[in-house]
Chains A and B, each alone.
Chain A
Amino acid sequence: MFKFFSSSNIYSLIQKVINFINSIFFLILIIGLTFALVLSPPDYIQGDSVRIMYVHVPAAWLGLACFSFITILSILNFIFKIRNFYFINKSIAPIGLLFTCLAIITGSLWGQPTWGTWWAWDARLLSMFVLMLFYIFYILAFKLLNKEELIVKVSSIIAIIGSINLPIIKYSVEWWTTLHQPASIKILGSSSIHPAMLLPLFAMLLVFLLYAALIFLMKYKIEIIRIKKKNIKRI
């Protein structure tokens, strides 16, 4: 069982998954874009500007999901000292930062025609901005510190403190009066979004997920090669 999780087996599995994602990615991208830009109906109030939702919402979800994942692995790594989690977190963080920045930028582009302003310092927008800062601090810990032990400690502390912000982002629209609309899609309870818009949203979410997986696997592969290169004489 443990032999299966050796870096050699993981490396060969990663290559197979990358090849698989590459083979289906463009087909799913075309389907997602066709649904998002052509087939889905305009909103009865927001008109065609609602199409921004198909890139804004998946980006925001993935930004949050990546940080949640980083927090869980940081806690586990802090307790059990599993070195692999360190490399996984290092590979995920830039993807989370990318999606958080994209959520903020596309949100701003959606805000201008809908609210009449590019930016407002309200609870949801501010908490997303804080998440972006935590991602930057987290990545800087890997870039600026040298010792792996110290990086694990500092990055774990950043992740754990940053995780306090996650429920604030989620519930900011309910706790405070904000410009941002409340959640339309609920895991528990009925969603207030029409299936004609829900389907393109999930298609685009799949595109974003595949892209995130592809970048993560490439970055993780880089980490494996880096370790092997360092220890090449010991192989």
Chain B
Amino acid sequence: MITEFLAMNGYGFYVWMSFSIVFIACAVVYLKTRKTLRKYESEFLVELQNLSAEEKNKALENSKVAQQILAANSKMN
């Protein structure tokens, strides 16, 4: 029954190849985008750490984005 399902009445190669290519391409794009996002988040945190204490506090006070990146990073750690 499984062999029959995989064979798809002789069209198995075309059907499975289509679904596999779509799945692999989408997974690669997703992983690559996630990696870039993490890279930018950590670079932003490094920039934030390099600020003086006063500048850092001001940045955290004024920027919700900075607060959220910092919070997300401490959650991950």
Count how many chain A residues have C-beta atoms less than 8 Å from C-beta atoms of the other chain: 44
Quick one: given A98-B26, A225-B65, A228-B63, are A49 and B44 in contact (CB under 8 Å)? Answer: no
Interface residues on B, range: 35 or more
Quick one: given A49-B15, A112-B14, A113-B11, are A105 and B40 in contact (CB under 8 Å)? Answer: no
From A68-76, A151-159, A193-201, A216-224, the one touching the partner chain is A216-224
B74 to chain A, nearest CB (A): 15
Q: Which of B8, B25, B47 contacts A102 (CB 8 A)?
A: B25
Residues of A within 8 A of B22 (CB): 55, 59, 102, 106
Whether, in the assembled complex, A129 has its beta carbon less than 8 Å from a beta carbon of chain B, the answer is no
Q: Which residue of B lies closest to A98 (CB)?
A: B29
Residues of B within 8 A of A219 (CB): 33
- Report whether A232 and B51 are in contact in the complex, using a CB–CB cutoff of 8 Å: yes
Residues of B within 8 A of A101 (CB): 25
Residues of A within 8 A of B14 (CB): 49, 52, 109-110, 112-113
Residues of B whose CB lies within 8 Å of any CB of A are 5, 8-12, 14-15, 17-19, 21-22, 25-26, 29-30, 33-34, 36-37, 40-41, 43-44, 47-48, 51, 55, 58-59, 62-66, 68-69, 72
Residues of A whose CB lies within 8 Å of any CB of B are 7-9, 11-12, 15, 33, 37-38, 42, 47-49, 51-52, 55-56, 59, 94-95, 98, 101-102, 105-106, 109-110, 112-113, 211, 214-215, 218-219, 221-222, 224-226, 228-229, 232-233, 235
